Structure 1
Amino acid sequence: MAREQFGICAEPSLHGYYLLFNALEDKDNYLRQALTRLPALFAHYADQFSESNLTGVVGIGANYWDEFYPQARPKQLKPFVAMQNEDRVAPSVSYDLYIEIRSDRGDVNHIVSSKVCELLADSVELVEQVRAFRYLDGRDLTGFVDGTENPQGRHRREVALISDEEDQAFAGGSYLHIQRYRHNLPLWNSLEEKEQEDVFGRTKVDNIEYESEAKPLTSHIKRTNLKDDDGKSIEIVRQSMPYGDMKLQGLFFVAYCRSPEPFELMLHSMIHGEGPHFDHMLKYTQAETGAAFFVPSLNLLESLAE
Protein backbone atom coordinates (compact mmCIF):
# COMPACT_ATOMS: atom_id res chain seq x y z
CA MET A 1 0.00 0.00 0.00
CA ALA A 2 1.35 3.41 -0.99
CA ARG A 3 2.39 5.68 1.89
CA GLU A 4 1.79 9.38 1.40
CA GLN A 5 4.16 12.15 2.38
CA PHE A 6 2.90 13.10 5.81
CA GLY A 7 3.04 16.86 5.34
CA ILE A 8 0.22 16.77 2.77
CA CYS A 9 -2.53 16.18 5.32
CA ALA A 10 -0.73 17.38 8.46
CA GLU A 11 -2.46 19.74 10.85
CA PRO A 12 -1.56 23.48 10.70
CA SER A 13 1.85 24.55 11.98
CA LEU A 14 3.19 27.71 13.58
CA HIS A 15 6.03 28.18 11.08
CA GLY A 16 6.64 27.29 7.43
CA TYR A 17 9.65 27.43 5.12
CA TYR A 18 9.03 27.00 1.38
CA LEU A 19 11.98 26.36 -0.94
CA LEU A 20 11.69 26.47 -4.74
CA PHE A 21 14.54 25.19 -6.90
CA ASN A 22 15.49 24.71 -10.53
CA ALA A 23 17.69 21.76 -11.46
CA LEU A 24 21.04 22.47 -13.07
CA GLU A 25 22.09 20.76 -16.28
CA ASP A 26 23.08 17.08 -16.10
CA LYS A 27 22.19 16.82 -12.40
CA ASP A 28 19.09 14.62 -12.72
CA ASN A 29 20.74 11.42 -11.49
CA TYR A 30 22.22 13.16 -8.47
CA LEU A 31 18.88 14.75 -7.66
CA ARG A 32 17.02 11.44 -7.82
CA GLN A 33 19.41 9.97 -5.27
CA ALA A 34 19.35 13.07 -3.07
CA LEU A 35 15.56 13.27 -2.96
CA THR A 36 15.31 9.66 -1.77
CA ARG A 37 17.18 10.78 1.35
CA LEU A 38 14.88 13.66 2.24
CA PRO A 39 12.12 11.64 3.98
CA ALA A 40 14.76 10.12 6.28
CA LEU A 41 16.23 13.57 6.91
CA PHE A 42 12.79 14.90 7.86
CA ALA A 43 12.17 11.88 10.10
CA HIS A 44 15.53 12.33 11.83
CA TYR A 45 14.86 15.93 12.80
CA ALA A 46 11.22 15.22 13.63
CA ASP A 47 12.52 12.68 16.16
CA GLN A 48 15.30 14.92 17.46
CA PHE A 49 12.90 17.84 17.96
CA SER A 50 9.78 15.82 18.70
CA GLU A 51 7.91 18.73 20.29
CA SER A 52 8.15 20.72 17.03
CA ASN A 53 5.77 18.47 15.03
CA LEU A 54 8.01 18.75 11.98
CA THR A 55 6.71 17.65 8.58
CA GLY A 56 8.15 17.96 5.08
CA VAL A 57 6.93 17.62 1.50
CA VAL A 58 8.86 17.06 -1.72
CA GLY A 59 7.18 18.04 -5.00
CA ILE A 60 8.38 17.64 -8.59
CA GLY A 61 7.50 20.38 -11.08
CA ALA A 62 5.05 19.56 -13.86
CA ASN A 63 7.48 20.84 -16.49
CA TYR A 64 10.38 18.87 -15.00
CA TRP A 65 8.59 15.59 -14.38
CA ASP A 66 9.37 13.83 -17.69
CA GLU A 67 13.06 14.58 -17.35
CA PHE A 68 13.14 13.59 -13.69
CA TYR A 69 11.04 10.42 -13.97
CA PRO A 70 10.77 9.34 -17.62
CA GLN A 71 9.31 5.91 -16.76
CA ALA A 72 5.75 7.18 -16.34
CA ARG A 73 3.71 10.32 -15.76
CA PRO A 74 0.75 10.95 -13.44
CA LYS A 75 -2.41 10.89 -15.53
CA GLN A 76 -3.54 14.46 -14.85
CA LEU A 77 -0.22 16.23 -14.35
CA LYS A 78 0.11 19.39 -16.45
CA PRO A 79 1.75 22.80 -16.17
CA PHE A 80 0.10 25.55 -14.18
CA VAL A 81 -2.58 27.19 -16.32
CA ALA A 82 -1.99 30.95 -16.39
CA MET A 83 -5.14 33.10 -16.38
CA GLN A 84 -5.90 36.77 -16.98
CA ASN A 85 -8.99 38.92 -17.19
CA GLU A 86 -8.49 42.69 -17.32
CA ASP A 87 -6.14 43.52 -14.42
CA ARG A 88 -6.70 40.18 -12.66
CA VAL A 89 -3.71 37.94 -13.34
CA ALA A 90 -2.65 34.46 -12.24
CA PRO A 91 0.86 34.07 -13.70
CA SER A 92 2.64 30.78 -14.33
CA VAL A 93 6.25 30.33 -13.17
CA SER A 94 8.21 27.15 -13.85
CA TYR A 95 9.99 25.57 -10.87
CA ASP A 96 11.56 22.11 -10.91
CA LEU A 97 11.44 21.25 -7.21
CA TYR A 98 9.31 22.27 -4.25
CA ILE A 99 10.32 21.58 -0.66
CA GLU A 100 7.89 22.43 2.12
CA ILE A 101 9.08 22.36 5.72
CA ARG A 102 6.62 23.11 8.50
CA SER A 103 6.81 22.83 12.27
CA ASP A 104 6.01 24.70 15.46
CA ARG A 105 9.59 26.02 15.74
CA GLY A 106 11.12 28.52 13.36
CA ASP A 107 14.66 27.54 14.38
CA VAL A 108 14.00 23.88 13.53
CA ASN A 109 12.67 24.89 10.13
CA HIS A 110 15.87 26.87 9.56
CA ILE A 111 18.05 23.93 10.52
CA VAL A 112 16.20 21.49 8.27
CA SER A 113 16.10 23.96 5.37
CA SER A 114 19.86 24.39 5.68
CA LYS A 115 20.35 20.61 5.59
CA VAL A 116 18.14 20.35 2.50
CA CYS A 117 20.22 22.97 0.70
CA GLU A 118 23.44 21.23 1.76
CA LEU A 119 22.16 17.91 0.43
CA LEU A 120 21.05 19.32 -2.92
CA ALA A 121 24.30 21.31 -3.06
CA ASP A 122 25.35 22.50 -6.52
CA SER A 123 22.77 20.37 -8.35
CA VAL A 124 20.14 23.11 -8.06
CA GLU A 125 19.58 26.83 -8.09
CA LEU A 126 17.52 28.17 -5.19
CA VAL A 127 15.05 30.42 -7.02
CA GLU A 128 12.78 31.47 -4.18
CA GLN A 129 12.47 30.98 -0.43
CA VAL A 130 9.54 32.07 1.69
CA ARG A 131 9.41 32.04 5.46
CA ALA A 132 5.82 31.90 6.63
CA PHE A 133 4.09 31.92 9.99
CA ARG A 134 0.79 31.27 11.70
CA TYR A 135 -0.99 34.55 12.37
CA LEU A 136 -3.24 34.82 15.42
CA ASP A 137 -5.79 31.97 15.39
CA GLY A 138 -5.12 30.78 11.83
CA ARG A 139 -5.90 34.07 10.11
CA ASP A 140 -4.57 35.67 6.97
CA LEU A 141 -2.96 39.10 7.36
CA THR A 142 -6.28 40.55 6.18
CA GLY A 143 -7.58 39.54 9.61
CA PHE A 144 -9.91 36.80 8.34
CA VAL A 145 -9.60 33.11 9.21
CA ASP A 146 -7.94 31.23 6.35
CA GLY A 147 -8.99 27.74 5.27
CA THR A 148 -12.33 27.68 7.07
CA GLU A 149 -13.73 25.21 4.52
CA ASN A 150 -10.75 22.83 4.73
CA PRO A 151 -11.66 19.13 4.93
CA GLN A 152 -11.22 17.66 8.39
CA GLY A 153 -10.05 14.30 9.78
CA ARG A 154 -9.82 11.35 7.43
CA HIS A 155 -11.72 13.29 4.79
CA ARG A 156 -8.52 15.26 4.16
CA ARG A 157 -6.93 12.09 2.79
CA GLU A 158 -9.93 11.39 0.57
CA VAL A 159 -9.65 14.87 -0.95
CA ALA A 160 -5.87 15.14 -1.22
CA LEU A 161 -4.60 11.66 -2.10
CA ILE A 162 -4.86 9.68 -5.34
CA SER A 163 -6.43 6.26 -4.91
CA ASP A 164 -5.41 2.96 -6.53
CA GLU A 165 -8.53 3.12 -8.70
CA GLU A 166 -7.67 6.56 -10.05
CA ASP A 167 -3.99 6.03 -10.91
CA GLN A 168 -2.45 2.91 -9.39
CA ALA A 169 1.13 3.76 -10.35
CA PHE A 170 0.88 7.06 -8.47
CA ALA A 171 -1.47 6.14 -5.62
CA GLY A 172 -0.74 8.02 -2.42
CA GLY A 173 0.48 11.01 -4.40
CA SER A 174 -1.12 14.41 -4.74
CA TYR A 175 -1.39 17.26 -7.23
CA LEU A 176 -0.01 20.46 -5.73
CA HIS A 177 -0.58 24.07 -6.78
CA ILE A 178 1.12 27.05 -5.20
CA GLN A 179 0.74 30.80 -5.57
CA ARG A 180 2.48 33.59 -3.72
CA TYR A 181 0.01 36.42 -3.22
CA ARG A 182 1.13 39.93 -2.33
CA HIS A 183 -1.41 41.93 -0.36
CA ASN A 184 -2.06 45.66 -0.59
CA LEU A 185 -2.77 46.02 3.11
CA PRO A 186 -2.92 49.84 3.20
CA LEU A 187 -5.71 49.72 0.63
CA TRP A 188 -7.42 46.82 2.40
CA ASN A 189 -7.24 48.52 5.78
CA SER A 190 -8.83 51.63 4.31
CA LEU A 191 -12.11 49.69 4.12
CA GLU A 192 -14.66 49.66 6.92
CA GLU A 193 -15.03 46.30 8.65
CA LYS A 194 -18.44 45.64 7.06
CA GLU A 195 -16.97 46.36 3.62
CA GLN A 196 -14.20 43.83 4.29
CA GLU A 197 -16.76 41.28 5.45
CA ASP A 198 -18.74 41.73 2.24
CA VAL A 199 -15.58 41.04 0.23
CA PHE A 200 -15.14 37.72 2.04
CA GLY A 201 -18.76 36.75 2.64
CA ARG A 202 -18.37 36.16 6.36
CA THR A 203 -17.82 38.09 9.56
CA LYS A 204 -14.31 39.07 10.54
CA VAL A 205 -14.16 38.59 14.30
CA ASP A 206 -16.49 35.61 14.78
CA ASN A 207 -15.85 33.98 11.39
CA ILE A 208 -19.55 33.37 10.73
CA GLU A 209 -20.43 32.74 7.10
CA TYR A 210 -23.16 34.91 5.59
CA GLU A 211 -26.46 33.27 4.78
CA SER A 212 -26.57 32.20 1.15
CA GLU A 213 -28.97 34.93 0.05
CA ALA A 214 -26.81 37.58 1.77
CA LYS A 215 -23.52 36.67 0.08
CA PRO A 216 -22.51 39.11 -2.65
CA LEU A 217 -21.83 37.36 -5.95
CA THR A 218 -18.41 39.00 -5.82
CA SER A 219 -17.51 37.62 -2.37
CA HIS A 220 -14.53 35.31 -1.99
CA ILE A 221 -16.67 32.54 -0.51
CA LYS A 222 -19.18 32.74 -3.36
CA ARG A 223 -16.42 32.50 -5.95
CA THR A 224 -14.51 29.60 -4.33
CA ASN A 225 -17.18 27.46 -2.61
CA LEU A 226 -18.24 25.62 -5.76
CA LYS A 227 -20.48 22.60 -6.35
CA ASP A 228 -20.18 19.84 -8.94
CA ASP A 229 -23.02 18.66 -11.20
CA ASP A 230 -24.31 16.43 -8.39
CA GLY A 231 -24.43 19.28 -5.90
CA LYS A 232 -21.39 18.08 -3.92
CA SER A 233 -18.79 20.57 -2.70
CA ILE A 234 -15.62 20.84 -4.78
CA GLU A 235 -12.77 20.60 -2.28
CA ILE A 236 -9.02 21.01 -1.91
CA VAL A 237 -6.73 20.71 1.12
CA ARG A 238 -5.15 24.09 1.83
CA GLN A 239 -1.86 24.38 3.68
CA SER A 240 -1.42 28.11 3.09
CA MET A 241 0.43 30.44 5.47
CA PRO A 242 0.96 34.21 5.72
CA TYR A 243 4.41 35.65 5.09
CA GLY A 244 5.94 39.08 5.21
CA ASP A 245 7.99 41.83 6.79
CA MET A 246 7.54 45.55 7.18
CA LYS A 247 7.75 46.10 3.40
CA LEU A 248 5.92 43.16 1.79
CA GLN A 249 3.08 41.02 3.12
CA GLY A 250 0.93 38.32 1.64
CA LEU A 251 -0.19 34.71 1.61
CA PHE A 252 1.76 31.72 0.36
CA PHE A 253 -1.11 29.67 -1.02
CA VAL A 254 -0.67 25.88 -1.05
CA ALA A 255 -3.35 23.45 -2.28
CA TYR A 256 -3.25 19.65 -2.45
CA CYS A 257 -5.81 17.54 -4.27
CA ARG A 258 -6.30 14.15 -5.94
CA SER A 259 -6.94 16.06 -9.19
CA PRO A 260 -5.85 19.45 -10.61
CA GLU A 261 -9.40 20.27 -11.68
CA PRO A 262 -10.83 21.65 -8.40
CA PHE A 263 -8.05 24.19 -8.04
CA GLU A 264 -8.37 25.30 -11.66
CA LEU A 265 -12.15 25.67 -11.33
CA MET A 266 -11.78 27.82 -8.22
CA LEU A 267 -9.10 30.02 -9.75
CA HIS A 268 -11.15 30.46 -12.93
CA SER A 269 -14.18 31.44 -10.84
CA MET A 270 -12.11 34.02 -8.95
CA ILE A 271 -10.58 35.66 -12.02
CA HIS A 272 -13.27 35.27 -14.69
CA GLY A 273 -16.21 35.01 -12.35
CA GLU A 274 -19.81 34.66 -13.37
CA GLY A 275 -20.59 37.38 -15.86
CA PRO A 276 -19.24 40.59 -14.28
CA HIS A 277 -19.01 39.01 -10.82
CA PHE A 278 -15.34 38.22 -10.16
CA ASP A 279 -13.72 37.77 -6.73
CA HIS A 280 -13.38 41.27 -5.29
CA MET A 281 -10.60 40.07 -2.99
CA LEU A 282 -8.42 40.36 -6.09
CA LYS A 283 -8.73 44.14 -5.80
CA TYR A 284 -6.55 43.91 -2.70
CA THR A 285 -4.13 41.09 -3.45
CA GLN A 286 -2.17 39.97 -6.50
CA ALA A 287 -0.70 36.58 -7.35
CA GLU A 288 2.95 37.07 -8.26
CA THR A 289 3.76 33.39 -8.87
CA GLY A 290 1.91 30.18 -9.74
CA ALA A 291 3.21 26.66 -10.27
CA ALA A 292 2.05 23.04 -10.47
CA PHE A 293 3.83 20.04 -8.95
CA PHE A 294 3.27 16.38 -8.29
CA VAL A 295 3.97 15.08 -4.79
CA PRO A 296 4.85 11.38 -5.15
CA SER A 297 4.28 8.76 -2.49
CA LEU A 298 7.09 7.77 -0.14
CA ASN A 299 7.17 4.43 -1.97
CA LEU A 300 7.94 6.12 -5.27
CA LEU A 301 10.58 8.35 -3.70
CA GLU A 302 12.27 5.31 -2.18
CA SER A 303 12.25 3.54 -5.55
CA LEU A 304 14.42 6.28 -7.05
CA ALA A 305 17.42 4.83 -5.21
CA GLU A 306 17.13 1.51 -7.02
Structure 2
Amino acid sequence: MSHYQPGILATPVPAQARHLFFALESVTDLPAALDRLTQWLAGHAAVVGLGESLVKAMGASINGLRPFPALAGVGVDNPSTQHALWCWLHSGEGDDRGDLLNRSQALQALLAPALRLVMMNETFRHKTGHDLTGYEDGTENPHDDAAIAAALVSHGADGTVGGSFAAIQQWQHDLQRFHGLSAGAKDDIMGRRLSDNVELEDAPISAHVKRTAQESFAPEAFVVRRSMPWIDGDRAGLMFLAFGFSLDAFEVQLRRMSGLEDGIVDGLYQISQPLTGGYYWCPPLQDGHLDLRALRSA
Protein backbone atom coordinates (compact mmCIF):
# COMPACT_ATOMS: atom_id res chain seq x y z
CA MET A 1 0.00 0.00 0.00
CA SER A 2 1.80 3.15 -1.20
CA HIS A 3 -1.00 5.72 -1.17
CA TYR A 4 -0.65 6.86 2.42
CA GLN A 5 1.05 9.88 3.97
CA PRO A 6 4.61 8.53 4.35
CA GLY A 7 5.32 10.33 7.61
CA ILE A 8 2.84 8.03 9.35
CA LEU A 9 5.17 5.04 9.15
CA ALA A 10 8.58 6.61 8.49
CA THR A 11 11.18 5.62 11.09
CA PRO A 12 12.79 6.84 13.17
CA VAL A 13 10.74 9.81 14.32
CA PRO A 14 12.19 13.06 12.91
CA ALA A 15 15.02 14.81 14.73
CA GLN A 16 12.73 17.83 15.20
CA ALA A 17 9.06 18.46 14.50
CA ARG A 18 6.13 20.75 15.18
CA HIS A 19 2.50 19.95 15.95
CA LEU A 20 0.28 22.72 14.59
CA PHE A 21 -3.41 22.92 15.53
CA PHE A 22 -5.89 25.07 13.61
CA ALA A 23 -9.40 26.36 14.31
CA LEU A 24 -11.96 26.84 11.55
CA GLU A 25 -12.64 30.54 10.88
CA SER A 26 -14.45 30.62 7.52
CA VAL A 27 -16.47 27.79 6.02
CA THR A 28 -16.80 29.76 2.78
CA ASP A 29 -13.01 29.89 2.32
CA LEU A 30 -12.41 26.29 3.41
CA PRO A 31 -12.59 24.48 0.02
CA ALA A 32 -9.98 26.79 -1.52
CA ALA A 33 -7.71 26.42 1.52
CA LEU A 34 -7.91 22.63 1.30
CA ASP A 35 -7.06 22.78 -2.39
CA ARG A 36 -3.93 24.77 -1.56
CA LEU A 37 -3.07 22.36 1.24
CA THR A 38 -3.43 19.40 -1.13
CA GLN A 39 -0.83 20.88 -3.46
CA TRP A 40 1.47 22.05 -0.66
CA LEU A 41 1.77 18.67 1.06
CA ALA A 42 3.41 17.05 -1.98
CA GLY A 43 6.57 19.07 -1.41
CA HIS A 44 6.82 18.99 2.37
CA ALA A 45 7.65 16.47 5.08
CA ALA A 46 4.44 16.51 7.06
CA VAL A 47 1.35 14.58 8.10
CA VAL A 48 -2.04 16.31 7.93
CA GLY A 49 -5.13 15.28 9.89
CA LEU A 50 -8.69 16.61 9.76
CA GLY A 51 -10.99 16.88 12.75
CA GLU A 52 -14.66 15.97 12.64
CA SER A 53 -15.75 19.61 12.76
CA LEU A 54 -13.86 20.36 9.53
CA VAL A 55 -15.23 17.26 7.82
CA LYS A 56 -18.76 18.31 8.80
CA ALA A 57 -18.10 21.83 7.51
CA MET A 58 -17.48 20.22 4.12
CA GLY A 59 -20.86 18.47 4.35
CA ALA A 60 -19.21 15.07 4.66
CA SER A 61 -18.64 12.31 7.20
CA ILE A 62 -15.80 9.82 7.69
CA ASN A 63 -16.74 6.46 9.13
CA GLY A 64 -15.07 6.09 12.53
CA LEU A 65 -14.07 9.74 12.99
CA ARG A 66 -15.32 11.39 16.16
CA PRO A 67 -14.20 14.02 18.69
CA PHE A 68 -11.74 13.04 21.39
CA PRO A 69 -13.60 11.89 24.52
CA ALA A 70 -13.01 13.63 27.86
CA LEU A 71 -12.47 10.59 30.08
CA ALA A 72 -12.24 10.87 33.88
CA GLY A 73 -11.30 8.20 36.40
CA VAL A 74 -10.34 8.25 40.07
CA GLY A 75 -7.80 11.07 40.24
CA VAL A 76 -7.50 11.00 36.44
CA ASP A 77 -8.60 13.57 33.88
CA ASN A 78 -8.07 13.17 30.14
CA PRO A 79 -9.17 16.49 28.60
CA SER A 80 -10.57 16.90 25.11
CA THR A 81 -9.06 19.83 23.21
CA GLN A 82 -10.30 18.91 19.75
CA HIS A 83 -9.34 21.12 16.79
CA ALA A 84 -10.41 21.35 13.18
CA LEU A 85 -7.06 20.56 11.56
CA TRP A 86 -3.68 19.25 12.76
CA CYS A 87 -0.35 19.20 10.96
CA TRP A 88 2.72 17.29 12.15
CA LEU A 89 5.53 19.16 10.41
CA HIS A 90 8.84 17.25 10.20
CA SER A 91 12.36 18.54 9.89
CA GLY A 92 14.40 17.16 7.01
CA GLU A 93 17.99 15.99 7.28
CA GLY A 94 20.13 19.03 7.98
CA ASP A 95 17.15 21.29 8.69
CA ASP A 96 17.22 23.48 11.77
CA ARG A 97 14.51 25.05 13.93
CA GLY A 98 14.51 28.14 11.76
CA ASP A 99 13.40 26.05 8.80
CA LEU A 100 10.50 24.65 10.83
CA LEU A 101 9.51 28.19 11.80
CA ASN A 102 9.56 29.37 8.20
CA ARG A 103 7.52 26.42 6.99
CA SER A 104 5.03 26.85 9.84
CA GLN A 105 4.47 30.47 8.92
CA ALA A 106 4.09 29.58 5.25
CA LEU A 107 1.47 26.99 6.17
CA GLN A 108 -0.43 29.51 8.27
CA ALA A 109 -0.56 31.92 5.34
CA LEU A 110 -1.61 29.11 3.00
CA LEU A 111 -4.61 28.16 5.15
CA ALA A 112 -5.80 31.69 5.94
CA PRO A 113 -8.45 33.00 6.14
CA ALA A 114 -10.23 29.66 6.43
CA LEU A 115 -8.15 28.30 9.30
CA ARG A 116 -6.26 30.00 12.14
CA LEU A 117 -3.34 28.58 14.13
CA VAL A 118 -4.38 28.32 17.79
CA MET A 119 -1.78 26.00 19.31
CA MET A 120 1.74 24.83 18.50
CA ASN A 121 4.03 22.31 20.18
CA GLU A 122 7.68 21.89 19.24
CA THR A 123 9.11 18.39 19.72
CA PHE A 124 12.39 16.57 19.24
CA ARG A 125 13.93 13.10 19.17
CA HIS A 126 15.67 12.24 22.46
CA LYS A 127 18.58 9.80 22.13
CA THR A 128 17.34 7.06 19.77
CA GLY A 129 13.65 7.50 20.58
CA HIS A 130 13.38 7.82 24.35
CA ASP A 131 11.03 9.63 26.67
CA LEU A 132 12.54 12.29 28.96
CA THR A 133 12.15 9.82 31.83
CA GLY A 134 14.93 7.88 30.08
CA TYR A 135 12.73 4.94 29.05
CA GLU A 136 12.55 3.87 25.41
CA ASP A 137 9.25 4.79 23.78
CA GLY A 138 7.29 2.60 21.37
CA THR A 139 9.08 -0.66 22.22
CA GLU A 140 6.04 -2.75 21.31
CA ASN A 141 5.36 -1.01 18.00
CA PRO A 142 4.42 -3.35 15.16
CA HIS A 143 6.79 -3.31 12.17
CA ASP A 144 6.66 -3.79 8.40
CA ASP A 145 3.42 -5.47 7.27
CA ALA A 146 2.11 -5.53 10.85
CA ALA A 147 2.56 -1.75 11.08
CA ILE A 148 0.69 -1.25 7.81
CA ALA A 149 -2.14 -3.45 9.06
CA ALA A 150 -2.34 -1.61 12.39
CA ALA A 151 -2.06 1.96 11.12
CA LEU A 152 -3.80 2.14 7.73
CA VAL A 153 -7.34 1.64 6.45
CA SER A 154 -7.20 -1.36 4.09
CA HIS A 155 -10.64 -1.28 2.50
CA GLY A 156 -13.56 1.06 2.03
CA ALA A 157 -14.88 3.81 -0.20
CA ASP A 158 -12.81 5.84 -2.66
CA GLY A 159 -10.60 8.31 -0.85
CA THR A 160 -10.44 6.30 2.38
CA VAL A 161 -8.12 3.35 1.66
CA GLY A 162 -4.62 4.25 2.82
CA GLY A 163 -6.02 6.75 5.29
CA SER A 164 -5.30 6.60 8.99
CA PHE A 165 -6.65 7.90 12.29
CA ALA A 166 -4.39 9.84 14.67
CA ALA A 167 -4.81 10.12 18.44
CA ILE A 168 -2.79 12.89 20.09
CA GLN A 169 -2.24 13.79 23.74
CA GLN A 170 0.28 16.21 25.21
CA TRP A 171 1.50 14.78 28.52
CA GLN A 172 3.35 16.92 31.08
CA HIS A 173 5.78 15.03 33.32
CA ASP A 174 6.69 15.83 36.91
CA LEU A 175 10.34 14.99 36.28
CA GLN A 176 11.55 16.23 39.67
CA ARG A 177 9.21 13.84 41.43
CA PHE A 178 10.04 11.02 39.04
CA HIS A 179 13.81 11.39 39.42
CA GLY A 180 13.37 11.45 43.19
CA LEU A 181 11.98 7.90 43.12
CA SER A 182 14.08 4.79 43.62
CA ALA A 183 15.11 2.81 40.55
CA GLY A 184 12.69 0.06 41.53
CA ALA A 185 9.77 2.46 41.94
CA LYS A 186 10.46 3.97 38.51
CA ASP A 187 10.57 0.53 36.90
CA ASP A 188 7.31 -0.45 38.63
CA ILE A 189 5.54 2.59 37.15
CA MET A 190 6.72 1.74 33.64
CA GLY A 191 6.83 -2.06 33.89
CA ARG A 192 10.32 -2.18 32.35
CA ARG A 193 13.87 -1.93 33.63
CA LEU A 194 15.48 1.36 32.70
CA SER A 195 18.88 -0.32 32.47
CA ASP A 196 18.06 -2.74 29.63
CA ASN A 197 14.41 -2.05 28.61
CA VAL A 198 13.41 -5.61 29.54
CA GLU A 199 9.79 -6.05 30.63
CA LEU A 200 9.41 -6.98 34.32
CA GLU A 201 7.67 -10.32 34.81
CA ASP A 202 6.61 -9.32 38.35
CA ALA A 203 5.60 -5.75 37.58
CA PRO A 204 2.50 -4.51 39.47
CA ILE A 205 -0.81 -4.67 37.66
CA SER A 206 -0.79 -0.86 37.51
CA ALA A 207 2.45 -0.77 35.47
CA HIS A 208 2.09 1.12 32.21
CA VAL A 209 3.27 -1.84 30.14
CA LYS A 210 0.58 -4.08 31.64
CA ARG A 211 -2.17 -1.47 31.32
CA THR A 212 -1.45 -0.99 27.61
CA ALA A 213 -0.41 -4.51 26.52
CA GLN A 214 -1.90 -4.42 23.03
CA GLU A 215 -2.33 -8.18 22.72
CA SER A 216 -4.32 -8.35 25.99
CA PHE A 217 -7.42 -6.72 24.50
CA ALA A 218 -10.18 -8.47 22.56
CA PRO A 219 -9.81 -7.69 19.73
CA GLU A 220 -6.10 -6.93 19.98
CA ALA A 221 -5.45 -3.18 20.17
CA PHE A 222 -2.33 -2.54 18.10
CA VAL A 223 -1.40 1.00 17.09
CA VAL A 224 1.76 2.60 15.70
CA ARG A 225 3.21 5.08 18.18
CA ARG A 226 5.22 8.09 16.94
CA SER A 227 5.60 10.06 20.17
CA MET A 228 8.26 12.73 20.79
CA PRO A 229 9.36 14.74 23.85
CA TRP A 230 8.73 18.45 24.29
CA ILE A 231 10.24 21.18 26.49
CA ASP A 232 8.79 24.64 27.18
CA GLY A 233 10.81 26.54 29.78
CA ASP A 234 10.78 24.41 32.93
CA ARG A 235 7.80 22.36 31.69
CA ALA A 236 8.42 19.14 29.77
CA GLY A 237 6.82 15.87 28.77
CA LEU A 238 5.78 13.69 25.86
CA MET A 239 3.67 14.52 22.84
CA PHE A 240 1.94 11.18 22.49
CA LEU A 241 0.91 10.28 18.94
CA ALA A 242 -0.59 7.00 17.74
CA PHE A 243 -1.88 5.99 14.33
CA GLY A 244 -4.50 3.29 13.75
CA PHE A 245 -6.88 2.01 11.10
CA SER A 246 -9.55 3.11 13.58
CA LEU A 247 -9.62 5.03 16.84
CA ASP A 248 -10.95 2.09 18.81
CA ALA A 249 -7.60 0.52 19.75
CA PHE A 250 -6.27 3.71 21.28
CA GLU A 251 -9.51 4.44 23.08
CA VAL A 252 -9.77 1.05 24.79
CA GLN A 253 -6.18 1.46 25.98
CA LEU A 254 -6.93 4.93 27.36
CA ARG A 255 -10.04 3.68 29.14
CA ARG A 256 -8.05 0.90 30.82
CA MET A 257 -5.24 3.30 31.73
CA SER A 258 -7.82 5.59 33.36
CA GLY A 259 -9.22 2.76 35.48
CA LEU A 260 -12.55 2.67 33.65
CA GLU A 261 -12.22 -1.02 32.77
CA ASP A 262 -11.33 -2.55 36.14
CA GLY A 263 -10.72 0.30 38.59
CA ILE A 264 -6.93 0.06 38.36
CA VAL A 265 -5.29 3.32 37.28
CA ASP A 266 -2.11 3.29 35.22
CA GLY A 267 0.95 4.14 37.29
CA LEU A 268 1.95 6.68 34.65
CA TYR A 269 -0.60 9.11 36.11
CA GLN A 270 1.54 9.26 39.27
CA ILE A 271 4.21 11.25 37.45
CA SER A 272 2.46 12.66 34.37
CA GLN A 273 -0.83 14.20 33.31
CA PRO A 274 -2.40 14.79 29.88
CA LEU A 275 -3.03 18.41 28.98
CA THR A 276 -4.71 17.93 25.59
CA GLY A 277 -6.50 15.33 23.49
CA GLY A 278 -7.55 15.21 19.85
CA TYR A 279 -8.64 12.76 17.13
CA TYR A 280 -7.89 13.33 13.44
CA TRP A 281 -8.44 11.58 10.12
CA CYS A 282 -5.33 11.53 7.93
CA PRO A 283 -6.47 11.28 4.28
CA PRO A 284 -4.61 9.00 1.86
CA LEU A 285 -2.61 10.25 -1.11
CA GLN A 286 -3.41 10.18 -4.80
CA ASP A 287 -0.58 10.95 -7.23
CA GLY A 288 1.42 12.34 -4.31
CA HIS A 289 -1.28 14.80 -3.24
CA LEU A 290 -3.88 14.59 -0.47
CA ASP A 291 -6.85 12.56 -1.67
CA LEU A 292 -9.92 14.45 -0.47
CA ARG A 293 -12.51 12.62 -2.57
CA ALA A 294 -14.19 11.41 0.63
CA LEU A 295 -14.98 15.03 1.49
CA ARG A 296 -16.45 15.84 -1.90
CA SER A 297 -18.56 12.77 -2.59
CA ALA A 298 -21.14 13.55 0.08
Q: Same fold (TM over 0.5)?
A: yes
1:128-181 deviation digits (Å, cap 9, x = unpaired): 1111001122110111111111111232111110012x5554111011111111
Partner of 2:248: 261
8 Å contact kept, 1:2–1:297: no
Partner of 1:19: 20
Deviates more, 1:181-190 or 1:195-204: 181-190
Query: Which consecutive segments of 4 or more residues in structure 1 shift more than 6 A?
Result: none
1:171-212 deviation digits (Å, cap 9, x = unpaired): 11011111111111111111111110010000112111112x
Partner of 2:290: 301
Output the amino acid matched with 1:39: L
How many residues end up aligned between the 2 structures?
288
Q: Are 1:123 and 2:114 matched, yes or no? A: yes
8 Å contact kept, 2:255–2:261: no
8 Å contact kept, 2:123–2:228: yes
Q: Name which of 36, 39, 44 aligns with 2:38.
A: 36
**How much has 1:33 moved relative to structure 2?**
1.6
8 Å contact kept, 1:75–1:167: no
Measure the CA separation in 2 of the matches of 1:62 and 1:293: 7
Root-mean-square deviation (CA, aligned residues, Å) is: 2.2
8 Å contact kept, 1:77–1:260: yes
Q: Are 1:80 and 2:68 matched, yes or no? A: yes
Q: What secondary structure does 2:198 align onto? A: coil
Measure the CA separation in 1 of the matches of 2:114 and 2:152: 29
Q: Give the structure-2-normalised TM-score.
A: 0.89
Q: Name which of 90, 106, 122 aligns with 2:78.
A: 90
Output the amino acid matched with 1:32: L
Q: What secondary structure does 1:235 align onto? A: coil
**How much has 1:303 moved relative to structure 2?**
5.0
Q: Give the structure-1-normalised TM-score.
A: 0.87
Q: Are 1:146 and 2:137 matched, yes or no? A: yes
Q: Using a 3 Å threshold, how does the CA distance of structure 1 residues 208 and 167 change in structure 2: closer, same or farther?
A: farther
**How much has 1:110 moved relative to structure 2?**
2.9
In terms of fraction of residues, the more helix-rich structure is: 1
- State the identity as a percent: 31
8 Å contact kept, 2:171–2:275: yes
Q: Are 1:174 and 2:175 matched, yes or no? A: no
